[in-house]
Amino acid sequence: MQYAFNSSRFALRGWIGHGGVVYDDADSALYEVSESAFQLLSLLKDRVNHSPDQSGQTTAQTAAHLAGLLIGETPEDTDIALVSSVLDDLRTMGVVTCRSA
């Protein structure tokens, strides 16, 4: 499963310790995102150019991979579940796109 930040429609800004926001070109709306969602989105935005393709992985594997990158160590099941849940929410909003192999 390959997740990517939908930069053609959304813009992301944030500051470590100060939270983040997502801007939607469609209606000029601005949404606050949690610190963890901001870090996850930054990762997805950044890894488009810097990370190997995970399109051969399952959703759970991708979530585990991203959780590991976020926390810098082997993630526990709760970490993976949290990342998976945030990814689902962001995908529903259209902020991230998802492509399977």
For other proteins, give the closer residue by CB, 33 or 63.
33
Residue type, 8: S
Q: How far is the CB of 74 from other proteins (least distance, A)?
A: 30
Are 71 and 79 a contacting pair, CB within 8 Å?
A: yes
For other proteins, give the closer residue by CB, 17 or 52.
17
Are 98 and 3 a contacting pair, CB within 8 Å?
A: yes
- Binding of other proteins at residue 76 (CB under 8 A)? no
- Residues 49 and 45: their CA atoms lie apart, in Å, by 8
Which string of x and - marks every residue 10-39 that binds other proteins (by CB under 8 A)?
Answer: -x-xxx-xxxxx-x-x-xx-x-xx----x-
